[in-house]
Structure 1
């Protein structure tokens, strides 16, 4: 499987990267070198918010103080294009030493042969059981081997406005029907007020769609009796899910919803244009910046079940590159996860970053440090995460999940329903065809 997938990754990305120059410059070309003294550890980080970028820098400075002669250089880059840049660096033989990665990326990078296992680091920071849910066992692994150290996880919840529901005499949704009815009830285009929205123009658009699919027991992949991955889309349930989402967005979302990204939808919630979405609770800092008096009007519930409890989630991990300074990279990871060094890091942007280590949820500094509006979510998070998974990874790590997200396969199908008028049946057929192409079948 690994040999097959290395070839698959190479073919896919050679096509997408043809003619693309690696924009690392001369400094990055030294990332794979080693030196007995005066080593520089290079980290590529996709954590662009200033607060958490600053805390990552603080950990880097702490590591430098603990290891005289070592310098840590962090390059911050946007999520968009980061995966392709990592693959380009692997192919050029000059990757960084460490990088932050998103859902499905460890499986793709491991399949390319570009990253190393981190099981020795996992053992030193508490072992596999120390990590929450599937954050390590699935999202950080490929074929039973750990390739990524889970940096943080994020429970996805249905955000809503309490006052809006009160106006229409409704309560927080407990079922899919409740959510649909509430979102339609509060929608009033004449007042520029809408019930729901999803992002379509960034890589995060597939996550909430996956959450609804999983809630309806659509898992996309499963292993057969021989242990081989097979496409397993319950067509009836998938069609039902896409019909539901079409109804929700067609009748309770702004007409231009397919043109919005995640950041814009957060702003629409904060501005009072949209009531609800399924995602991280990151709308809170946006609301606080715009009108702090409205913070208490926002609340959240887990995604209501259809056939089962299920949801999307956020996840970011750390990987060490095979052509980088592996020993130094692993030493930094161990340092970062030791003690409570990550507490201040999580609290620097608590709306997206929840601990991957289960023990930190009972850490007084963390539990007391989260903002008041998140305190109810902290004890809820482990249960939500236990019933969620990365896109198409409910039944375990597989080598195609990252490409399903990166290619926006799930959200493109829904967009085509809204824009091109294709049916839910055609949307599911489109998804099935595209995933089969990824699998080479």
Structure 2
């Protein structure tokens, strides 16, 4: 974008401000309330869905036409990044699924089946077998702390079971107190004995640490784990591959939590709207810059446009030689199994999801089971009450 500015708006410079995951919402709302918004934002999809419903973002359909409506990779729609009431509010940056990361050396050593064939029962058996046969190593790791990572990890299991928080086809009625939610919570409880003992406090970085330092043989995570392992733990990097999640044995779903994250323009008190629009279109139509973006965090940020995804330039990265199957699974193979709290089961945008994550409702529901020892049925009822409160407080957004 600064390349565009140097050519077209001398004196204008775009600067990046990075914000920790758990601090994004508070920072954004504070800046917007103070009438000093950033000129352009890139936030996780649940926050974007909430902001567009609140009327805080600028429609970008004119930019979509300039970028190219037909450029998206197969298996996705513009809606996945963010549309509301027929208007597009988010320009794609990437898609970013968490998958099942597996130490294939250990799976082979213990004679376990190919993880590509697993259902939940196979995953549970593998976690149990590894824990029992490998001293000082957990079989499996996911986040269980009161944080966003737990929300995202549990949501994948909920959606694999066919469950959801809200029914988008019925005015976003709460649908959480269900057999599907109970099934997902029960599975987490069954996995718990085979996780690291500190997992009930884990968030994003602790899950990465557990895998990269050899404390666990399997974990739910995005591509960052592989990038870090490549730098710090070469043998673990070489032995780890990413797989689509194990199938729910009843539904056959392999749902992941895929963040369709993009670029949004605050609509109010933003003096640089036209400059931002032109600079972003420049960046989005530059294959060179889009390839650089994907290469900056391999294989964590997946390409969104066909001309980038199929380019030889994108393949000019060491991971394509060392981890071709894993890269392909993150970039392409995951798309058929995409879901997220912002667009549950890909049935429509959910403007309430940002509030859900702001209060850590899913993570607290999980902790009712793994810490407070409530039954999954009790925890599901508690979560449903909390979700109903969010719906009631924000009914104005649902239209």
Q: Is this a same-fold pair by TM over 0.5?
A: yes
Kindly report which structure 2 residues correspond to 1:186-205, keeping only aligned pairs within 5 A, or say none.
186-188=130-132, 191-199=135-143, 200-205=145-150
Q: Which residue of 232, 235, 238 corresponds with 2:181?
A: 238
Asked if structure 2 preserves the Cα contact closer than 8 Å seen for 1:216 and 1:305, the reply is no
Find the aligned partners of 1:132 and 1:91 in 2 and give their Cα distance. Answer: 39
- What is the Cα deviation at residue 188 of structure 1? 4.3
Find the aligned partners of 1:145 and 1:278 in 2 and give their Cα distance. Answer: 34
2:335 aligned partner: 385
Asked if structure 1 preserves the Cα contact closer than 8 Å seen for 2:342 and 2:351, the reply is no
Kindly report which structure 2 residues correspond to 1:37-436, keeping only aligned pairs within 5 A, or say none.
60-69=1-10, 70-127=12-69, 130=72, 133-134=75-76, 136-173=78-115, 174-188=118-132, 191-199=135-143, 200-224=145-169, 228-233=171-176, 235-249=178-192, 251-306=193-248, 307=251, 308-322=253-267, 323-324=269-270, 325-340=272-287, 341-369=289-317, 371=319, 372-380=321-329, 381-391=331-341, 393=343, 394=345, 395-436=347-388
Asked if structure 2 preserves the Cα contact closer than 8 Å seen for 1:141 and 1:148, the reply is yes
Could you say which structure has the greater relative contact order, defined with CA pairs below 8 angstroms and 6 or more residues apart? 2
The structure richer in strand per residue is 1
Distance 1:128 1:104, change over 3 A: farther
What is the alpha-carbon root mean square deviation over aligned residues? Answer: 2.1
- What is the Cα deviation at residue 436 of structure 1? 0.6
Asked if structure 2 preserves the Cα contact closer than 8 Å seen for 1:111 and 1:399, the reply is yes
Distance 1:90 1:135, change over 3 A: farther
Deviations 1:297-356 (A, max 9, x none): 111210122112422123321110112122112112101101312111110111211112
Find the aligned partners of 2:167 and 2:372 in 1 and give their Cα distance. Answer: 31
Gaps of 5+ in 2: 394-399
Asked if structure 2 preserves the Cα contact closer than 8 Å seen for 1:131 and 1:357, the reply is yes
3-state SS of paired residue (2:78): coil
Deviations 1:407-431 (A, max 9, x none): 2211221122111111101111121
Find the aligned partners of 1:190 and 1:164 in 2 and give their Cα distance. Answer: 9
Asked if structure 1 preserves the Cα contact closer than 8 Å seen for 2:154 and 2:362, the reply is yes
- What is the Cα deviation at residue 64 of structure 1? 2.6
Deviations 1:89-118 (A, max 9, x none): 222222111011112111211233221111
3-state SS of paired residue (2:96): strand
- What is the Cα deviation at residue 178 of structure 1? 0.6
Count of residue correspondences: 379
Distance 1:397 1:90, change over 3 A: same
Gaps of 5+ in 1: 1-59
Distance 1:373 1:243, change over 3 A: farther
The TM-score, its normalising length taken from structure 2, stands at: 0.89
The TM-score, its normalising length taken from structure 1, stands at: 0.81
